[in-house]
Amino acid sequence: MIELEEALKRILSTIQPLEHETVALTEATERVLVEPIMSPVDLPRFDNSAMDGYAVRAADLAAANAERPASLQVLGKVAAGGVFADKVAAGTCVRLFTGSPLPEGADAVVMQEATRLDPSRPDTVWFLEAVRPWENVRLRGEDAKRGAPLAEAGDRLTFGQIGLLAAAGLLELKVSRQPRVGLLATGSELAEPGRPLQPGQIYESNRAMLAALVKRAGAQPDIFPLVPDTMEATCSALKRALDRCDAAITTGGVSVGEFDFVKAAFEQLGGELNFWKVSIKPGKPFVFGRAGRKFLFGLPGNPVSTFLCFELFVRPALRLLRGLKDAGTVLPMATLTQDYDYRTDRPTYHPALLDATAAGLPVNVVRTTRAPSRVERRRPLSCVTISTK
Ligand code: AMP
Ligand code: MG
């Protein structure tokens, strides 16, 4: 049996990020970049109007106000997507719309609401206020200059970054391949949800939970059929999962019972067990192994153990596999809001509700500390709340 820290160290030092692949920008959310991206263009590409209004020379309107409006001659108009062939000279202006390129010679935009048309002279506009140079103009390169970094290697792509990269004209990106994770539930007592239960059977619930956890961890779950407790069935199911996936998560069958075949089956397939049994409660019989470039995470079958071992061992491993630098193993500490009697020889994890707002923390599994504490009680400890990260 090894300590939790040692177990984590062994897992994380074994795992390397998966190889790279190119994905369409539209498929890149939450994927991890393998190279920095520099802007191929200035963003915005050209000086353009932030308003519907008129392109002017600010100096022409220096004295304008509501009592003494200033007039300019309208040379023409430029829709968004158009360009104005001529120059804005002194005493003239050009009608613009949001996104229209700023014509040469102009250095500001006055919004339409601060102007009046002249009913008797259709080519004249009256300006009711002055404007500062470059007011209401989005300047070329003000968001990002050509060559400026838009994203760094190791970034997990957010929707904001994806929008920015699209604005820079990118179509595809080089990212770490997403891990494919086979989910196997062992146990002859297990039945598929949705089917009638036979005497002694229970519904299998770990694969559905793990599929949700795996997805949230940025990997792809691959659900395999139920595995009865025989050496033969365990071997063939594990083989299929390891052939098809980057890692297999099994649940059940890792204790010392005579129907526990996961470890033996993995070794029979040529896999190497790195460790079995960790000093935690629950989750003690957790086993980790590798077969070439594939990994086995053998989780105990009790659903609470399954959840805990996923959070403690598998989620950090998946983070490294998908290219993130930080395995995210530091759990936030929290304070118990009620007394709890925990005499135990191992670090012990209890289902709990964590009031993230009160604690000011992202929520994760609460690891109890040895020092009992007492703060006002908020809610009964009844289930585990987990991070949205
Ligand atoms: P095991 O780890 O195989 O000894 O199983 C421990 C306990 O968890 C037993 O009571 C099992 O019936 C239960 N269990 C194991 N696997 C599952 C599963 N996939 N879904 C629900 N309960 C399970
Ligand atoms: Mg079992």
pLDDT digits over 221-264, tens only?
Answer: 999 999 999 999 999 999 999 999 999 999 999 999 999 999 99
- pLDDT in the model for residue 329: 86
Residues 6+ apart with CB under 8 A from 344: 281
Predicted confidence (pLDDT) at residue 371 exceeds the cutoff of 80: no
Q: Is the pLDDT of residue 34 over 90?
A: yes
Residues 6+ apart with CB under 8 A from 317: 11, 12, 15, 247, 295, 297, 327
- In angstroms, the CA 191 to CA 194 distance is 9
Q: How many CB atoms lie within 10 A of CB 129?
A: 15
Q: What is the Cα–Cα distance from 348 to 58, expressed in whole angstroms? A: 70
Residue 135 Cα to ligand 1 midpoint, Å, equals 67
Residue 163 amino acid letter: G
Ligand 1, CB cutoff 6 Å, lining residues: 185, 187, 189-190, 202, 204-206, 251-253, 255, 300-303
Closest ligand 1 atom to 204 CA = 20
Ligand 1: nearest atom to the Cα of 302: 8
Mean pLDDT calculated for residue range 146-166? 95
| Minimum CA distance residue for ligand 1 atom 8 | 302
Q: Indicate whether 148 pLDDT > 80.
A: yes
> Among all ligands shown, which has an atom nearest to the Cα of 204?
1
More confident residue, 363 or 248: 248
Inform me whether the pLDDT recorded for 288 exceeds 70: yes
Q: Evaluate whether 138 touches 48 at the Cβ level (below 8 Å).
A: yes
What is the model's pLDDT at position 244?
A: 98
Amino acid letter, 26: T
Q: What is the mean pLDDT of the chain?
A: 90
User: Which one of 190, 209, 223, 234 would you pick to mutate in the ligand 1 pocket, going by the greatest count of ligand atoms within 8 A of its CB?
Assistant: 190
Residue 389 pLDDT exceeds 70: no
Q: Report how far apart, in Å, the C-alpha atoms of 362 and of each of 156, 157, 158, 166 are.
A: 18, 20, 18, 30
173-231 pLDDT, tens digit per residue, is 999 999 999 999 999 999 999 999 999 999 999 999 999 999 999 999 999 999 999 99
Cα separation, 29 vs 157, in Å, equals 5
pLDDT at 81: 96
Determine the Cα–Cα distance for residues 81 and 88; give it in Å rounded to an integer.
Answer: 18
pLDDT > 70: percent of the chain:
88
Helix (H, G, I), strand (E, B) or coil at 151: strand
Q: Does residue 376 have a pLDDT over 60? A: no
Task: Please compute, for residue 129, the number of CA atoms within 13 A of its CA located in the half-sphere on the CB side.
Answer: 11
Nearest CA owner, ligand 1 atom 17: 301
Say yes or no to pLDDT of 142 above 60: yes
pLDDT at 272: 98
The answer, yes or no, to whether residue 379 has pLDDT greater than 50, is no
Per-residue pLDDT band at 347 (split at 50, 70, 90): confident
Predicted pLDDT at 357? 59
Given a cut of 90, whether residue 331 has pLDDT beyond it is no
For residues 3-12, give the mean pLDDT.
96
